[in-house]
Structure 1
Amino acid sequence: MNTLAMPSEGARMETGASFWKSGNRATLFAAFLYFDVSFMVWVMLGPLAPIISKDLGLDPAQKGLMVAIPTLAGAVLRLVNGLSVDRLGPKLVGAINQLIVIAGLAAAWHFGISTYEGTLAVGVLLGFAGASFAVALPLASRWYPPEHQGKAMGIAGMGNSGTVLASLFAPLLAKMFGWNNVFGLALIPLVAVFIYYMIAAKDSPDQPAPKSLSAYAEVLKEKDAWWFMLFYFVTFGGFVGLSNSLPTYYADSYGLTPVVAGYCTAAAVFAGSLLRPIGGAFADRFGGIKTLTVVYLLAALVLVGIALSAASLPLTFCLFLLVMGTLGIGNGAVFQLVPQRFRKEIGVMTGLVGFGGGVGGFYLASSLGFAKKLTGSATPGFLIFASLAVVALLGLTMVKTRWRTTWGAAVQGVRI
């Protein structure tokens, strides 16, 4: 049987059916691939940072800002994509974003980047790749019923494994061909996925009718929207912030070569990416609130451990594996909850919550660089982010009873 067979254009999700029979597998796979290669280029400057900073003579704060700019740009553009998805449909918005990234990287490769300001400009361009989050997740989510949202969003969201590809191959390719040529080589998978995406991806027939722009502002009047932004600020912000920062951290703190630092980073990123769909499945099985409670408690403890274990590379490596896996589970759990609370506004909510996560990643990556420059150590940055995980845990404790007795009680057959 063809595992990518899709329902007819007018087919709708089947509530009560098994996961693989309830939605559109070809669209789910297209969403994953689009997200995967987009994440690969979104975080590309992180693995290349040790090489670029050496060539351009950058200080720690400049390195931190360089790897953080794509995250901030992606956060802002996720808001734009979230609005656009509900009005134009996810497939069209995704196609436009992919063309912008392909054209921009082709220009960067053709003309070359030779200044710090040039890397910042490329970082802004790469934000369009990071904004894929607000397209790929609604594209997949709208094909699946409530009881399978955690798994569907987890599989589509596992596209953040593209950060593994960047960590593994960007430093190696830069060593072989020069870091400017990595921008050109990235076009190969981008173009291949774009072609498949245009053939396989389909908008769900359950797409809500377009709303006025003022209607989207109504979502921000909901307290729960802000809570979800905070929760994702910590889980996804921690994941992408560390993905961008670890190559430089390993190179500066332990003297590892860019290639070896990339391998160490790839291992941690792989753990976080692999466990994202598992986090969604845990949330489907045990409830998103219980899953996130464990995530925030463990993440805070491990981040403190990282801050205190800087002298030991083996211990630090293991702790980064643990914290990235934990944050990956948290990413899946957050997006098991969001579609239950805001199903009709999933496009704009994906943009808003993704914006919160992107800002968290920008904060962590830039703060680690500034902490290193001001104190000679990244320890304060890790401790502050650990405290933010505690804040998220306290916030979750405050809202969980209300969630379970209001909108959570109205969703049949789903654990909240």
Structure 2
Amino acid sequence: MTAPSTAPAPPSRGGRWIQQWDPEDETFWKETGEKVAKRNLLFSVLSEHIGFSIWTMWSVLVLFMGPEYGLTPADKFLLTSMVTLVGAVVRVPYTFAVAIFGGRNWTIISASLLLVPTVAAFAVMKPGTSFNTFLLVGLLAGIGGGNFASSMTNINAFFPLRKKGWALGLNAGGGNIGVPVIQLIALAIIGASGGPRVLLGIYIPLILLAAVLSSLFMDNIENVKNDTGAAKDAARDGHTWIMSFLYIGTFGSFIGYSFAFGQVLQNQFGRTPLEAAYVTFIGPLLGSLIRPVGGALADKYGGAKITLWNYVGMGAATAVLIAASMEKSLGLFTVAFVVLFVLSGLGNGSTFKMIPGIFHTKALGKGLEGEEAAAYGRRLSGASMGLIGAVGALGGVGINLAFRQSFLSYGSGTGAFVAFLAFYAACFAVTWAVYLRRTAVQGQASTAAEAKPQLSYAEV
């Protein structure tokens, strides 16, 4: 192993590139790496946080849009569905962007781009604007969803495997909390009889601040740049798509419910915009705060185990939601929905901890050791995170479209919740079959001389 003293010290700030980065070397990590990694994490969280707020701002703006705007509930669900869709799609190029431009450089660019949807929404947010115009401007807000993919790919490279669950959970949780923050600000504005343009005006200087701070305090890592082939390798790996499916169940739920919760309360339970706003922020807030806990639990007990039992909890909460929806019990419905948010956040943390563990385990299975194995795991896990995040976000599209169809067909969200329950059952089955069942099979086959060795992912 190369002695840490021979490596040039990482730059403390500015646009310089870190030429050598070995977080798995404990001496390097304690003396130099941890401080630099945490600084980059802090400003990555800030940019991603504002990105999430801009992405989900239409979940709030639709609450301001009363009868004078001429939009039906189906129109609003379609609008939020399309915003979610763009946020999912742009995560793919945002993942490549880190390798092309460098993590710091792309954070500056992606933060600055958030001005486009915010200023556009400020310009058109008034009665008399056509639905197609709202839809077009809403699509622009989807770019805020891409910040997550580039941020996770970048931060994954800064931390050692043993710290990834905590670091990725904190990075994502700090970003996710942008959802309840913009909802809380909207609550205050609605309560003060302010309009949607006040909300948008608050975020314009915050976007500029995030871009400037990223420029001053973040770094690029040289060996992450110019590795666009990693995404192709990750796309060829079956685990990327299996984890994408599981992430639909956790993050797809979180972002889908974040967009839909207020509308469900308004349309199914007759809540006013202010009454809905009083409640809608609670679930995303708790779901965001719990995400680092999910990562930390996965670090300790194994992400596959936490994910498996988390899906059991999500299924149980959804069953309660179905009962509350049928009985028209607002209190029980709200509590169960908040619990479902919390579990989705916990599962977000545990699933993302699984990703680097899976690829590190594959590296060991190939006979790689030490830094070589760690580098292999970092390379593929970083690339796969953007793809997994993109597919996972599509779950939010599905949730909003399911609610739209359920309200059109039945006048309530009950039909949608039945579909979600079936999906969580499928996620449980896949988690067990792929990542936990194999351990038992391996134990049964170990006595057979001809049995091929099988990798165990139970601890990832």
Q: With structure 1 as the length reference, what TM-score do the two structures score?
A: 0.90
Where in structure 2 are the equivalents of 1:361-376 lying within 5 Å?
361-376=396-411
Match of 1:225 among 237, 240, 264: 240
Match of 1:207 among 180, 203, 224: 224
Does 1:242 find its partner at 2:257?
A: yes
Q: Is residue 75–residue 354 contact of structure 1 (8 Å, CA) maintained in 2?
A: yes
Where in structure 2 are the equivalents of 1:101-180 lying within 5 Å?
101-110=114-123, 112=125, 114-158=129-173, 159-173=175-189, 176-180=193-197
Alpha-carbon distance change, 22 to 227 in structure 1, aligned in 2, over 3 angstroms: farther
Where in structure 2 are the equivalents of 1:291-306 lying within 5 Å?
291-306=306-321
Percent of matched pairs sharing the same residue:
24
Q: Which residue of 2 aligns with 1:343?
A: 378
- Deviations 1:184-217 (CA, angstroms, capped at 9, x unpaired): 33212222222212211212355264234xx633
Q: Which moved more, 1:9-18 or 1:239-248?
A: 9-18
Rounded to whole Å, the distance in 1 between the matches of 2:284 and 2:133 is 27
Alpha-carbon distance change, 334 to 14 in structure 1, aligned in 2, over 3 angstroms: same
Q: Is residue 242–residue 364 contact of structure 1 (8 Å, CA) maintained in 2?
A: yes
- Deviations 1:36-64 (CA, angstroms, capped at 9, x unpaired): 11111111111222322533222222111
Q: Which residue of 1 aligns with 2:340?
A: 323
What letter corresponds to residue 75 of structure 1 in structure 2? A
How many aligned positions are there? 406
Alpha-carbon distance change, 41 to 377 in structure 1, aligned in 2, over 3 angstroms: same
Match of 1:186 among 195, 199, 203: 203
Alpha-carbon distance change, 23 to 152 in structure 1, aligned in 2, over 3 angstroms: farther
- Deviations 1:370-402 (CA, angstroms, capped at 9, x unpaired): 211221111111110111111111111111148
| Deviation of the 1:176 alpha carbon | 3.4
| Deviation of the 1:343 alpha carbon | 2.2
Alpha-carbon distance change, 408 to 276 in structure 1, aligned in 2, over 3 angstroms: farther
Rounded to whole Å, the distance in 1 between the matches of 2:205 and 2:23 is 34
Match of 1:333 among 325, 350, 357: 350
SS of equivalent to 1:210: coil
What letter corresponds to residue 13 of structure 1 in structure 2? P
Q: Is residue 73–residue 123 contact of structure 1 (8 Å, CA) maintained in 2?
A: no
- Deviations 1:217-276 (CA, angstroms, capped at 9, x unpaired): 343222111101101111000000000101111122222221231221111111100110
**RMSD, aligned α-carbons:** 2.5
Rounded to whole Å, the distance in 2 between the matches of 1:171 and 1:115 is 25
Q: Is residue 120–residue 137 contact of structure 2 (8 Å, CA) maintained in 1?
A: no
| Deviation of the 1:301 alpha carbon | 1.4
Rounded to whole Å, the distance in 2 between the matches of 1:256 and 1:196 is 40
- Deviations 1:116-153 (CA, angstroms, capped at 9, x unpaired): 11221122111111111111112221110001110000
Q: Is residue 262–residue 277 contact of structure 2 (8 Å, CA) maintained in 1?
A: yes
Q: Which residue of 1 aligns with 2:427?
A: 392
Does 1:98 find its partner at 2:138?
A: no
SS of equivalent to 1:220: helix
Rounded to whole Å, the distance in 1 between the matches of 2:300 and 2:11 is 27
Greater RCO (Cα-Cα under 8 Å, separation 6 or more): 1
Alpha-carbon distance change, 201 to 80 in structure 1, aligned in 2, over 3 angstroms: same
SS of equivalent to 1:131: helix
Q: Which residue of 1 aligns with 2:23?
A: 13
Q: Is residue 86–residue 347 contact of structure 1 (8 Å, CA) maintained in 2?
A: no
Alpha-carbon distance change, 101 to 119 in structure 1, aligned in 2, over 3 angstroms: same
Q: Which runs of 5+ in 1 are unaligned?
A: 1-5
Does 1:383 find its partner at 2:418?
A: yes
- Deviations 1:19-49 (CA, angstroms, capped at 9, x unpaired): 9947611100011111111111111111222
Alpha-carbon distance change, 407 to 177 in structure 1, aligned in 2, over 3 angstroms: farther
SS of equivalent to 2:90: helix
Rounded to whole Å, the distance in 1 between the matches of 2:304 and 2:48 is 26
| Deviation of the 1:403 alpha carbon | 7.1
Match of 1:290 among 305, 310, 313: 305
What letter corresponds to residue 173 of structure 1 in structure 2? I
Q: Which residue of 1 aligns with 2:83?
A: 70
Q: Which residue of 1 aligns with 2:57?
A: 44
| Deviation of the 1:79 alpha carbon | 0.7
Q: With structure 2 as the length reference, what TM-score do the two structures score?
A: 0.82
Looking at CA atoms only, which structure, 1 or 2, has the larger radius of gyration?
A: 2
Q: Is residue 250–residue 348 contact of structure 2 (8 Å, CA) maintained in 1?
A: yes
Alpha-carbon distance change, 206 to 93 in structure 1, aligned in 2, over 3 angstroms: same
What letter corresponds to residue 23 of structure 2 in structure 1? M
Q: Is residue 302–residue 323 contact of structure 1 (8 Å, CA) maintained in 2?
A: yes
What letter corresponds to residue 317 of structure 1 in structure 2? T
Rounded to whole Å, the distance in 2 between the matches of 1:172 and 1:68 is 25
- Deviations 1:132-188 (CA, angstroms, capped at 9, x unpaired): 111111222111000111000001001100101121122443563322443233212
| Deviation of the 1:346 alpha carbon | 3.5
Rounded to whole Å, the distance in 2 between the matches of 1:202 and 1:254 is 49
What letter corresponds to residue 165 of structure 1 in structure 2? V
Q: Is residue 22–residue 145 contact of structure 1 (8 Å, CA) maintained in 2?
A: no
What letter corresponds to residue 26 of structure 1 in structure 2? R
Match of 2:101 among 76, 79, 88: 88
Q: Is residue 24–residue 161 contact of structure 2 (8 Å, CA) maintained in 1?
A: no
